[in-house]
Structure 1
Amino acid sequence: MIYDVIIVGGSYAGLSAGLQLARARRTVLVIDAGQRRNRFAATSHGFLGQDGQAPDVIANAGRSQLMAYPTVSWVQDSVIQADAHAGGLRLRTQSNGEFSALRVILATGVVDELPAIDGLAQRWGKRVFHCPYCHGYELDQGRIGVLATSALAMHHALMLPDWGTTTLFTNGVFTPDAEQQAQLERRGVRVEPTRVSRISGEHADLELVDGRVIQMDGIFTQSRTRISPLAEQLGCERIDGPSGPYLLTGETRQTSVTGVFACGDLSLAAGSVALAVGEGVRAGVGAHVSLING
């Protein structure tokens, strides 16, 4: 069977894209490896109508709604190879063989590569975050640390005083210049230049190399992001963003390769369930219109 569209990735963006196509009565196959980016967080915030829900609850409800449409199929697997052939696009999975489609939507998300600081990884999504809009409010105007991985930490540091008392830990990565220092002072941000050796405690205490321990209620930092090798296999053009690469897409969310679309964190340098759902709509509609136009 040749599907109209194969969607690689069954998280929020992929589900949203599939819903548009299912409602157009197109044959859709979702191939999902089951590794959502926000799987470490207990709750999801900022998505109208779903604020405070567990990520699993949102995703499972979306899957149930999508699978109610008779033209949709689902395979739990990882795609390991993608290429174009005379009839369209072909995907090879780890355990279920090959599948072909006229169009492909890449909704694989990204992989976070976290700062190599002892104690950080086990607190990711619980006390260490990347998105103030997603998790800042729940810190209840408490003590917030910004752990720099680059000069881009200035962006977090200037935002976060709206959510709590903020300290920027420059961690030897950069030194704010005079203008940046003035901006931080205007926002009431304290700057701590001493390097961080580890994160410990019940919440998120930063142990410094000079022996001091500074207690925090939460920490914000930037990961480096890594994208799926499928995009490179298909020849999709990418953009090198400040935190890692993402795919170049047009208004319809088609990539630089005809017939290949992308949505969610893979094509948008921001991590948000609400944005992923909206981008999935655009990719699903874009793929459908391309099928109509041949």
Structure 2
Amino acid sequence: MATTDETEFDVAIVGGSYAGMSAAMQLARGHRKVLVVDGGQRRNRFAAHAHGVLGQDGRAPAEIAEDGRAELWEYPTVSWVEATVESVDKAGDGFHLITHEGKRYQAARLIIATGVRDVLPEVPGLQERWGTSVFHCPYCHGYELQRQPIGVLGVGEVSMHHALMLPDWGPTVFFINDSFEPDAEQLRQLARRDVCIERTPVAKIAGERAVVHLADGRKFDLAGLFVASRLQHPMPLAEQLGCAFEETPVGPVIQTDATQATTVAGVFACGDVARGAGNVTFAMADGAMAGIAAHRSLMFDGL
């Protein structure tokens, strides 16, 4: 790995989790000088195990990330800085980045791989169980619940998707929680999937797993509870550069094309920051595409 005293790079990658490292590896294998700036806040840091990742099923997310970082550090053209990027701006044909410590870096291309934060409903006990018995992705966590009773906490009509999916993983209770009222067609769909509807508001989540306490005193002892979190971008980099966003049912993501290019020339985005539904496999694949596309732009743009 190169020293971090250098300030000029072919590509700067903001975010060093699965997407960012995957992008960096493609560029390093093309002998390009790559800077990875990482703040150390992986989205799945609350989960003890990562599932559904071929060849890595059941491993701790931190271990997968550490292995990836160790592999990346074998490439001498990669530099790694542990910092957060405070601002970025267009500078001629490239970009200037300034970290929270005031360090400045310049790169011809930029890849945004910052990930997102999950904003949860303000229900007591929900945040504390995030990643252990409260989840957002049934493909990531549903199998381990072994068809035991599970629940969906409503946050709006978007929760219908969860409620209709989850019976494949276990008997499902849909806690609407005053978030919306299903129409006649939605009620028919829920009935066909044998979803139990509970309209009494949720007072709190307690217990070692996910015991849902309702406002009327009743309790539901569940193996797991699923909720659609609202996505929040941790850094305003895309906004600073003028990248377009697209709205998804769970919040805005950076708009990209099939090569992970944004609407701003020379800027690419990958991972959860550019996708409404994310997991480790998607992040790695998007990162690989972003890295390859950034490399191709360095080779071919302007020929």
What range is the shorter-chain TM-score in? Answer: over 0.9
Question: AA paired with 1:208?
Answer: L
Matched, 1:269 2:280: no
Q: Could you tell me the percent identity over the aligned residues?
A: 54
1:237 maps to which residue? 244
2:232 maps to which residue? 226
Deviation at 1:93, TM superposition (A): 0.2
1:214 maps to which residue? 220
Matched, 1:35 2:41: yes
Q: Give structure 1 regions of 4+ aligned residues with deviation exceeding 4 angstroms.
A: none
Q: Secondary structure at the match of 1:38?
A: helix
Per-residue CA distance 1:194-245 (angstroms, 9 max, x = gap): 0001101111111111111111110000111112311101111111211111
2:50 maps to which residue? 44
Q: Distance in 1 between matches of 2:160 and 2:247?
A: 20
Deviation at 1:132, TM superposition (A): 0.3
Question: AA paired with 1:102?
Answer: A
1:140-179 to 2 correspondences below 5 Å: 140-179=146-185
1:118 maps to which residue? 124
Matched, 1:250 2:271: no
Q: Distance in 2 between matches of 1:13 and 1:158?
A: 30
1:202 maps to which residue? 208
Stretches of structure 1 lacking an aligned partner (at least 5 in a row) = none
Check the 8 A contact 1:118/1:198 in 2, yes or no: yes
Equivalent residue for 1:279, pick from 282, 286, 292: 286
- Number of aligned positions between the proteins: 294
1:93 maps to which residue? 99
Deviation at 1:99, TM superposition (A): 0.4
TM-score by length of 2: 0.95
Matched, 1:79 2:85: yes
Question: AA paired with 2:249?
Answer: P
1:12 maps to which residue? 18
Q: Distance in 2 between matches of 1:144 and 1:58?
A: 28
Deviation at 1:187, TM superposition (A): 1.0
Question: AA paired with 1:261?
Answer: F
Question: AA paired with 2:254?
Answer: L
1:57 maps to which residue? 63
Q: Distance in 1 between matches of 2:284 and 2:115?
A: 12
Deviation at 1:120, TM superposition (A): 0.3
Q: Distance in 2 between matches of 1:212 and 1:47?
A: 38
Question: AA paired with 2:246?
Answer: I
Per-residue CA distance 1:22-80 (angstroms, 9 max, x = gap): 00000001000000000000000111111111000110000111110000010000000
Deviation at 1:180, TM superposition (A): 1.2
TM-score by length of 1: 0.98
1:187 maps to which residue? 193
Check the 8 A contact 1:77/1:96 in 2, yes or no: no
Q: Distance in 1 between matches of 2:138 and 2:190?
A: 17
Question: AA paired with 1:25?
Answer: H
Question: AA paired with 1:250?
Answer: D
1:125-144 to 2 correspondences below 5 Å: 125-144=131-150
Deviation at 1:286, TM superposition (A): 0.4
Per-residue CA distance 1:148-204 (angstroms, 9 max, x = gap): 001111111111111111000000111222211111111111000100011011111
Question: AA paired with 2:270?
Answer: C
Equivalent residue for 1:292, pick from 266, 277, 299: 299
Check the 8 A contact 1:8/1:79 in 2, yes or no: yes
Q: Secondary structure at the match of 2:231?
A: strand
Stretches of structure 2 lacking an aligned partner (at least 5 in a row) = 1-6
CA RMSD after TM alignment: 0.9
